[in-house]
Structures are given as C-alpha cells and as structure tokens.
Chain A
Amino acid sequence: MTATAAISLSGLTKSFGDTHVLRDIDLDIAPGERVVVIGPSGTGKSTLLRCLNFLDRPDAGTIRVGDLTVDAGRATKAQILALRRRTSFVFQNYALFANKTARQNITQALVTVKGQSQAQADARADTILKETGLSDKADSYPAALSGGQQQRVGIGRAMALDADLMLFDEPTSALDPEWVGEVLDLMRRVADKGQTMLIVTHEMQFAREIADRIIFMDAGRIVEQGPPADLLDNPQDPRTVSFLRRVG
C-alpha cells in the first residue's frame, strides 16, 4: 500500500455461499486517478465496488481511505458509516429516493448526513442541477424523469457529497441508447474536476477516453491492468485478448 493513495485495498475477498466472487484483490488508486474496471459478466466487478462501501460485506481484507483503515472481517458499524461517508456511489438503476424531488435527492444527505443548513444545501443543489442541465427539473419527482435525467440526478447526488472516491456501477447499462451520451458527458465533466473515480462500465470507447488506467477482471481476480493504450491495444493475458475480441 502506498501512503499517498486515495484508496488502498489489500487482500479483499468475498464469497456468496460457495461462490468466490472476489479473490484476494489488491488495488491502490491515486488521488485524481480515473480507474475503469472491465471484464466478463459475473466476474466480480460490481461486487468489488459494492464491497468498497459495504453494500456487500467483504469477508476479509483491508480497505484504507485517507486516514481511515477498515479491517473488513471485523468492521464496526461506525467504521462502515465512516467509509460510506468518504465514498459516493452511482447505481446502475439510478436508485433515486422515490419520495424526494430531484433537488431533495441532492440535498437529503447534505442536511441529514453532513449537517448543512437547508439553505446551504439548496444552494449547492441548484449549482449542481445547473451543471447537470436539470435546473428546470429541480422540483420533479424521479417518476416524472427520463432514465437519462434520473441518472444525471444520481450523479449529481453523488457529486454533492465531495467524496474522496466516486464509485460508478455500470451507470449507463440500464439506459435506453438515446440517453447514454448525456450521462457519459456528465461523467467527463466530473472527471475534468479532478475527482477520483472507479468506474465499472461496458462502454469501451468511453473507457479508452476517460481512464488513466484500465483493470481487466476475470473470475474474481485482477488479471491485467495498465493505461488504456496498453491494455486495450496490446493485451498480454489470453483471457483479456479473448474478452476484448468478443466486445470489440
């Protein structure tokens, strides 16, 4: 583990019953680095992200974010909460709070979790809604928004948290093709701000363009990693070669 990393994982392991989903994952992500995870379905990519903030509880390993170190096997409630408050998460199915408007989706955690005043949180939300091009939808409930609009609110909600690490779990996979572009555009803008990002996606062109580093996972392990040009154009492992041939 490097002391300067935004986040360090070591020996992260997770099984569902007899199925080993993550096997001994080691990973350091530098501040501001954009890391994209690719790989076949069911290979543990989403589980890796979900273990990072304990939506799925890892069986063993260490997660370090800043000065917070969590031993996964013995994590306390307080540690899990602290970890979640240093990360933010963008869901495949958007997962907007159904009983809150677009603006309230963004302000909710700022007020209840970060203790900001409602006025302060509203001001932040309005800035973010402007950035995401949704100012006119501020008072709309999720049910009245398109998939693309919902996901932009989802990203806005995560942006507002100013997390050390933003996690994106296949953020465009549930979208109709017509909405994918606007969501990727917004993610590019988030990247331009220097946000540290860990992204699971099947959008290879987007991955090539946005990533500082691409990780190829298969069967719960990191098989190969490197800059997009190296990994995508000159893969070393046969599993990477075969995967890229199938998706490319």
Chain B
Amino acid sequence: MRALDLEYMWGLVPVLLGYVPLTLFMAIIGMVCALVLASVMAVERVFRVPILDWVVRLFISFFRGTPLLVQLFLFYYGLPQVLAFLGNINGVTATIMGLTLHFSAYMAESIRAAILGVDRSQWEAAQAVGMTQGQMMRQIILPQAARVAAPTLVNYFIDMIKGTSLAFTLGVTELMGATQKEAAGSFLYFEAFLVVAAIYWVMVEALAFAQRHLEIWLNKAHAR
C-alpha cells in the first residue's frame, strides 16, 4: 500500500472546482424545467384530461422505466440520426434534456400524490369563493402540495446533481470528465476520484443545509 499523494490532491481541488459551475448549471436548469413539466403533468394526472392523460401516462412510464444513461444515449447519439434538426445537439443540451425528462417523470408522481393529499376542505373553500380551477390550483392547492412534496423534490435535485456526471459519457468535459482526464494524465486514479467524490459530497451537503431552511419557510403557516 502506498501513501496518498496529498499534494497532488490539494493541487487538483481548484482545477476541479472550476468545473462546478457547469455541473450546477446543468442541474439547476434541469431542475427548473423538470419542476415546471412535472407540475403540469401532475395537475393533468389529477384532472385526467381525456387523451392527454394517456400521453402523460405513457411518458411517465417510459422515462421511469428506462435507465437515464440509455435515455441520454438515445437523445445524443440516436435521435440526430432520425431527426435532422437535432443534428448538432451538444452534450450539455442533451444532458439537460435527459435530466429534465427523466426526473420530471418521477417528480410528477410525487407532486400528484402531494396534490391529492391536500385536504378536501381546501378545494371546496376555493370553489365556494368562486375561484376558477386555475386560480384554485395556483393560489391554494399547489402551494400546500409544495410543502408536502419539498423533501422528496430536494432528494430528486440531489440525484440530478449527481446525474450530471453522466454527461461525461456524451463527451462533455464536466466535473467527472475533467477528473477522468486528470487521472489519466497522472495515473493517480484513487486520489483524483477521491477529490471529485468529496466535491460532490460537499455540494449535496450544502443543499441539505438549504433544504432545512426551505422546510422551515414552507412550514411557517403551520407553526402554532
């Protein structure tokens, strides 16, 4: 057993930190898009719009039922062969697309369950004061569902941050890809991947810290 090359690891930290913005960029854009798409699908699933419901269920079934890596390869390597306008899709775009569609399928089901968990009295009160369905969902139901769904959704965001590492399989030099290159140059694989593991870990812990504050904020209406 050899000693860890601590000096190499220390030198690697700033290099790899330079790739954190790209990782966060992909995760945050993916999360925002996925939240919007998932909310729309969740509301649809609650109201079961004819025909659309069938499309949404098929979408959710497919994106939950196949691996993220397979979906990324489909978008990046497969689709451009059949859809000419996707011919110059870049790896970052394909990753964001893949993360969005994949995680929105999971998130839609969590949000749907949270919506159905909102007490019946809240729906009736909103109807009784004459709100339209859209007003009722935006003003009353979704904000209350958000509180219930928040912990699960933050979990998916954590998964999504780690999922960005798959972009390296599409030739994107992001955090994981950069580490791979550094390690291949130095042959210090253990040190390099230990550093990158630590960076992911710290990012996720920072998010868990933010999550506690988010939950306190979302619970302010329910404090006695």
Contact = CB atoms under 8 A, between A and B. Distances in A.
A142 B140 CA distance: 14
Nearest to A108: B139
B159 interface: no
Interface string B120-140: 011011111111100100011
Nearest to B120: A95
B224 interface: yes
A88 interface: yes
Interface string A68-96: 00000000000001001101110101111
User: In terms of DSSP, what is the predominant structure of the interface of chain A?
Assistant: loop
A28 B42 CA distance: 43
Contacts of B143: 99
A113 B130 contact: yes
A143 B221 CA distance: 7
B131 A112 contact: yes
B221 A98 contact: yes
B87 to A, nearest CB: 45
Nearest to A145: B224
Interface string A92-113: 0111111111000000110011
A183 interface: no
Which interface class (under 10, 10 to 19, 20 to 34, 35 or more) fits B? 20 to 34
Which interface class (under 10, 10 to 19, 20 to 34, 35 or more) fits A? 20 to 34
Nearest to A157: B129
Nearest to A94: B121
A109 B224 CA distance: 25
B220 A141 contact: yes
Contacts of B135: 112-113
A162 to B, nearest CB: 12
A95 B124 contact: yes
A24 to B, nearest CB: 25
A109 B129 CA distance: 6
Contact of B221 (A87, A113, A141, A157): A141
Interface in B190-210: none
10 closest residue pairs by CB, A with B: A95-B121, A109-B129, A85-B130, A89-B128, A95-B125, A141-B221, A84-B130, A113-B130, A99-B143, A99-B221
Interface of B: 119, 121-122, 124-132, 135, 139-140, 143-144, 147, 220-224
Given A84-B130, A98-B119, A144-B223, 7 more contacts: A55-B127, A84-B127, A97-B139, A99-B147, A112-B139, A141-B221, A142-B221
21 contacts: A55-B128, A84-B127, A91-B125, A94-B121, A95-B122, A95-B124, A97-B139, A98-B122, A98-B222, A100-B140, A100-B221, A108-B139, A109-B130, A112-B135, A113-B129, A113-B131, A141-B221, A141-B223, A143-B221, A143-B222, A161-B130
